[in-house]
A and B are shown apart, each in its own frame.
Chain A
Amino acid sequence: MSIDTATAARVAKLARIAVPQEDLPKLADELSGILDFMEQLNEVNVDGVEPMTSVTPQRLKRREDVVTDGNQQKAVLANAPDAREGFFAVPKVVE
């Protein structure tokens, strides 16, 4: 599987990582190399095999639907790069 620069740019966009135009060919090369390595998986016969969802057989635990935590606005905002008036602040989203 070979990745071209357009695909590399699309993946970078989906991952929300800015990659300068001039770095795309090298990125495409590296991603292609890694995907080539993964191609080995096509040698395995996986007919009728269930994809693993949990490495130890377990049912997801359930608990009472009650509030167990909360009222920690200050702690939640303490590490925000920009917090104002009790909110996370971000650049304008809606025009």
Chain B
Amino acid sequence: MADLNKLGIAEARDALRKGDVTAVELTEACLGAIEDAGALNAFVHHTPEIAREQAAAADTRIKAGDAPDMCGIPVGIKDLFCTKGVASQAASRILEGFKPEYESTITQQLWDAGSVMLGKLNMDEFAMGSSNETSVYGDVVNPWRREGSDAALTPGGSSGGSASAVAADLCMAATGTDTGGSIRQPAAFVGITGLKPTYGRCSRWGVVAFASSLDQAGPMTKSVRDAAIMLGAMAGHDPKDSTSAELAVPDFEAALTGDIRGKKIGIPKEYRMEGMPAEIEQLWADGTAMLKDAGAEIVDITLPHTKYALPAYYVVAPAEASSNLARYDGVRFGHRAKLSQGDGITEMYEKTRAEGFGPEVQRRVMIGTYVLSAGFYDAYYNRARKVRSLIKKDFEGVFAQGVDAILTPATPSAAFGLGEMADADPVQMYLNDVFTVTVNLAGLPGIAVPAGLDKQGLPLGLQLIGRPWEEGDLLNTAYALEQAAGFVAKPAKWW
């Protein structure tokens, strides 16, 4: 078999079980692809020794007939996940040199299922960003380019390394995390599938915290089927995360019948944004037509507080971040600034955090500090939490009317150029999350599915939002959309 790194999870699994390939062969193909793809800057910590050891162990298991779905599948891990003995620094200088003494629950579950770790993937610093330009490792480059141009484009963020690596076939799949759209926006920018599960579906233990009430990890894959398979291995109750749900993990792949006849799909009028490119509008209309053709019932719905989701998010997320990031003090792990004669502990904190955090992280920590400070707590933080309640209520109302899933665009544009937003004010960058952030505020599952190319040849994605805990049903609707859209384009290799 040629080009083994181009396989997805499902194809690789089937080939492994038939004995057509070995996990060692799959792993070597991916390691070779990674070696050649330095220009993408997706993998930032390489773990070939671990990969080869895990691959050999997976082959033994497969031979013995003990092969869970993810057994022998080479994956990349976002740098936000703590991996024992392997650098895990959330793309931040403040965690330089940090090698966790423990393994995150999600990665442990993947290794227990026999998956192979190729290395750690680039991202925005502490998952704060929408373009992967805030990383201490430098920008990630999107494998896609505009037709007739060699300008470097962003893969989106914060899971930009994961997106770029999967789209460029450096790995079969990757883990991502999503606080305001960080799985779905990059997935849409590179033409892959990205799923944010219901809040509480996957354990957050050992995943570096950004905004604890919004953070949720999920799979980034080459197909909806692969997302269903990988979610099955990542999900599950974990006593070490008090917000992880005590629910059984269903067989998500079994839900993929492609039959969505009679399903009610809501089209929210508030997502028709002013100044939205005509191509996005067209893609959304096309997606609606595809679901209708597949037998779904299309209904117009209203989510009246949508407009307030972004400002609410940019109060709640920085507030939680300012608390979570208080732990980076130069005492227990990571970077400590060099001190001058006579510096005390306060200078140590202040210098360490000034050197260790990049500008975007500093900004968000300070915004969070401000909205939580005495005199502003009610005006900003409590008000934002009330608006959050209203946003969730909007969705509950729609689901109570019998709507099964909601279809929206995934992003307000195709991938933009690296550096293009450098002079824009921070709020401009935040607008990237406009279609995705409501899902985090309401704790719902959401999935981005590639659905077409724009006139410059760049991928565009659609988002489906599902009912809480019904990822199986959501994946099935996404599967029907995927079948109808028939997106098979791949970036031409230039790296």
Contacts and interface: CB of A to CB of B under 8 A. Distances in A.
B242 interface: yes
A13 to B, nearest CB: 8
Interface residues of B, number: 72
B370 A80 contact: no
B95 to A, nearest CB: 9
Interface in B315-372: 315, 322, 329-336, 339, 343-351, 353-354, 357, 362-363, 365-367, 369-371
B354 A41 contact: no
A30 B302 CA distance: 33
* Main SS class of interface, A: loop
B252 interface: no
A50 B336 contact: no
A43 B353 CA distance: 36
B354 A18 contact: yes
B344 A93 contact: yes
Contacts of B357: 17
Contact of A15 (B305, B322, B380): B322
A12, A13, A27, most chain B CB atoms within 10 A: A12
A34 B100 CA distance: 35
Nearest to A40: B311
A1 to B, nearest CB: 9
Contact of B333 (A17, A46, A51, A79): A79
A51 B386 contact: yes
A48 B57 CA distance: 58
Nearest to B305: A44
A56 interface: yes
A55 to B, nearest CB: 3
Size class of the contact patch on chain A = 35 or more
A82 interface: yes
A17 B425 contact: no
Contacts of B443: 55-56
B332 A80 contact: yes
Given A40-B311, A52-B385, A91-B343, A33 B427 contact: yes
A37 B312 CA distance: 10
A17 B331 contact: no
B351 A11 contact: no
Contacts of A15: 322, 353, 362, 365-366, 369
Interface in A53-74: 53-56, 58, 60-61, 63, 72
Contacts of B351: 18
Contacts, number: 167
A35, A61, A63, A93, most chain B CB atoms within 10 A: A35
B366 A79 contact: no
A38 B344 contact: no
Given A16-B353, A38-B315, A61-B242, A46 B383 contact: yes
B199 interface: yes
Nearest to B350: A18
A8 B430 CA distance: 21
A16 B442 contact: no
B426 A33 contact: yes
A37 B427 contact: yes
B311 A37 contact: yes
A18 B353 contact: yes
Interface in B103-132: none
Contacts of A41: 308, 311-312, 315, 380, 383-384, 387
A93 B345 contact: yes
Contacts of A56: 198-200, 243, 245, 443, 468
A78 to B, nearest CB: 6
Contact of A52 (B346, B371, B373, B389): B389
Contacts of B468: 56
Contacts of A31: 363, 366-367, 370
B387 A44 contact: yes
Contacts of A75: 101-102
A35 B343 CA distance: 34
A60 B312 contact: no
B331 A19 contact: no
A79 B390 contact: no
Contacts of A19: 354, 362
A14 B425 contact: no
Given A18-B354, A46-B386, A80-B332, A40 B427 contact: no
Given A31-B370, A33-B426, A56-B443, A46 B101 contact: no
15 contacts: A3-B370, A8-B366, A15-B322, A15-B362, A15-B365, A16-B349, A17-B365, A18-B347, A18-B351, A34-B363, A39-B311, A40-B307, A40-B308, A46-B390, A88-B332
Interface of B: 97-102, 198-200, 213, 239, 242-243, 245, 305, 307-308, 310-312, 314-315, 322, 329-336, 339, 343-351, 353-354, 357, 362-363, 365-367, 369-371, 373, 380, 382-390, 392, 425-427, 430, 441-443, 468
Given A11-B373, A46-B386, 17 more contacts: A17-B357, A31-B363, A34-B367, A37-B427, A37-B430, A41-B311, A41-B315, A51-B389, A52-B389, A56-B199, A56-B243, A58-B245, A79-B333, A81-B330, A81-B331, A81-B335, A88-B332
Interface of A: 3, 8, 11-19, 27, 30-31, 33-35, 37-44, 46, 49-56, 58, 60-61, 63, 72, 75-76, 78-82, 88, 90-93
Q: Return the 4 tightest CB-CB contacts between A and B, nearest first.
A: A55-B443, A51-B385, A81-B336, A79-B333
